[in-house]
A and B are shown apart, each in its own frame.
Chain A
Amino acid sequence: MLRAYSVLVYLFLYGPIALIVLFSFNSGLSAADFQGFSLKWYAKVAGNSLMLDALRTSFTVAFSSAALATIMGTMAALALQRVKGPVRVIFDGLTYIAIMVPGIVIGIATLIALVTTFEAANTILAQIWPGDAPPQLHMGYGSIIAAHTLFSMALVIVIVRARMAGMDRSLIEASMDLYADPWATFRQVTLPQLAPAIMAGFLLCFTFSFDDFVIAFFVAGPLNTLPIYVFSSIRRGVTPEINAIGTAIMMFSLVMLFSAQVLLRRASAPRKA
């Protein structure tokens, strides 16, 4: 009975996804009436310039925020290993707050903080700028990337620190004993051991940013990311084109997730000497 129930749960989990994939190949116009196999919706998606712009924006944002978050998060994790006391407590607290506060609150808080700051900065710039057209600060790539980097960085700190906790300290000590300077030890011992966790962190950050709607919705300004584009298309009505976009997005996240899993598995597997 337990087995039958579990099968039902898997059907529940995968049925809706399967339905989206199936109907993305529907040759009919209607979203919910399967008429035959066709790739025409994919062709239509490939020619949709609004969608392609959104896709490009999402890629830029996801890549930049993941790269920034991975670098800063790894740096913080390396440093936190060496500090104790209040600094560590504060960083731990901030990391958990960044992960725990709902995206919607982060989005709104960032929006009003940036709008207020930009307004003040633009007023000052207008006064001190020698030319006629002072530069204006506004929402856009910078604000989305910065906001996504916050959450992603916290994620990287958690992942890399978990990996450090399971790391073999004796190798570092051996390297020191053999008179390698700290930088050589880091480059030749610490970094290779951390690399899979860092890569996995990058991929997870990329996936998060690529998928995020709520934070981007507030801080994107005039830009459309892919989730924002999909959200507004759904509002206009359900079409087979959305099924095709959805299928493509899911396939892409699966590839990213799978790569992250492989890397993390390699990271947690015992290393052979």
Chain B
Amino acid sequence: MSAGADAIAAPATAQRKQSGRLLTALLLAPSALWFFVLLILPLAVVLIYSVGVRAPAGGYQAAFTFDNYLNLPARWTAFKNTLTLAPLGTLICLLAGYPLAYFLAVKSSARWRVLLLILVIVPFWTSFLIRTYAWIFILGGRGIPALLDSIGIPDVRLINTPFAVMCGIVYAYLPLMVFPIYVSLEKLDKRLLEASEDLGAGPFATFRQITLPLSAPGIITGCMLVFILLMGEYLIPQMLGGGKVFFIGNALVDLFLQSLNWPYGSAVAMALVAIMLVTVSLYLRATAATGGRRDASLI
């Protein structure tokens, strides 16, 4: 290429670079606008309201006070329920889901594996509302209690109990736990299991020393996904707990729509987001420690 051609090419490249930058900006503009108006702005409003006071007729009145945060213990029951039932639900999902994930990844025949895996995920993508409603149907007065009554065990109450909420939780979130564990178990080199067996390790020792540590990234991801979603749960306690077992989400609906105490509700919402952020950062640290990468893709 001659020097003359170079001289012509240089401004052309610069121009192309500039128009490329303009194109990038144009492509990003709509999503940036959306993120700003419907994510950053609303969260900022919640943050500002959380240091305000309730207007006499409900809503918000400008102020700068931390009283709402100091008052958080007034809704202690909601926090306590969420912070006990969410980890408990996560644990039950893990204990119930791990054997299934193990079966799918290690024991099932390759021919059926994909179909069986799809069958686990399908319920997760069908109507959440209807799946939770199914448990009202099952645990409600004319479901299992009626069956028990007919065989001579009267007056069993299942709906509107922590047990009912737990049924709904495990039912709704089990698929979300199985999938990431399956992914990490599937990548596990099966020869390691054989080697361990050959070296005289029992099934339990093999599981504890090889399978479990190698599936740790999947376990952590699954637990994180389930826990995060459970923290913000509203429908399951609302429908199956009947106002007796309520989560932070239920307290939020009550504060915003019933008692119209927006500032206090905002503080509760901020506390919920803060708990989740702490969890996520712990998760990121844990995955960095186990050397696992994120492989949570449900689709």
Contact = CB atoms under 8 A, between A and B. Distances in A.
Interface of A: 2-3, 5-6, 9-10, 12-14, 16-17, 19-20, 23, 30-33, 71-73, 75-76, 78-80, 82-83, 87, 91, 94, 97-98, 100-106, 108-114, 116, 146-147, 149-150, 153, 157, 159, 162, 200, 204, 207, 211, 213-214, 218, 227, 230-231, 234, 238, 242-243, 246, 249-250, 253-254, 257, 260-261, 264
Contact of A109 (B45, B130, B249): B45
B35 A94 contact: yes
A207 B126 CA distance: 8
Contacts of A227: 127, 129
Contacts of B38: 110, 146-147, 149-150
B31 A157 contact: yes
Q: Is the interface of A mostly helix, strand, loop or mixed?
A: helix
Interface string B217-231: 000000000001101
Given A13-B123, A106-B42, A162-B297, A6 B103 contact: yes
Contact of A257 (B28, B126, B128): B126
A79 B24 contact: yes
A234 B135 contact: no
B31 A17 contact: no
A218 B140 CA distance: 28
Given A23-B137, A261-B118, A109 B27 contact: no
A264 B142 contact: no
A103 B273 CA distance: 11
Q: Is the interface of B mostly helix, strand, loop or mixed?
A: helix
Contact of B126 (A10, A17, A104): A17
A227 B49 CA distance: 29
A222 to B, nearest CB: 15
A211 B136 contact: no
B263 to A, nearest CB: 10
B99 interface: yes
B232 A33 contact: no
Contact of B129 (A73, A105, A113, A231): A231
Nearest to B29: A75
A31 B174 contact: no
- In this complex, the member of A72, A105, A246, A261 whose beta carbon has the largest number of chain B beta carbons within 10 angstroms is A105
Nearest to B234: A104
Contacts of B253: 104
Interface of B: 20, 23-25, 27-28, 30-32, 34-35, 37-43, 45-46, 49, 60, 96, 99-100, 102-104, 107-108, 116, 118-120, 122-123, 125-131, 133-138, 140, 142-143, 146, 171, 174-175, 228-229, 231-232, 234-235, 239, 249, 252-253, 256, 262, 265-266, 269, 272-273, 276, 280, 297, 299
A150 B39 contact: yes
B131 A17 contact: yes
B31 A72 contact: yes
A252 B40 CA distance: 34
Given A16-B135, A76-B30, A98-B39, 17 more contacts: A2-B107, A16-B134, A20-B130, A31-B137, A75-B27, A83-B24, A100-B276, A102-B229, A105-B232, A109-B45, A111-B256, A112-B46, A112-B262, A147-B38, A150-B38, A231-B129, A253-B125
A200 B298 CA distance: 13
Contacts of A82: 20, 24
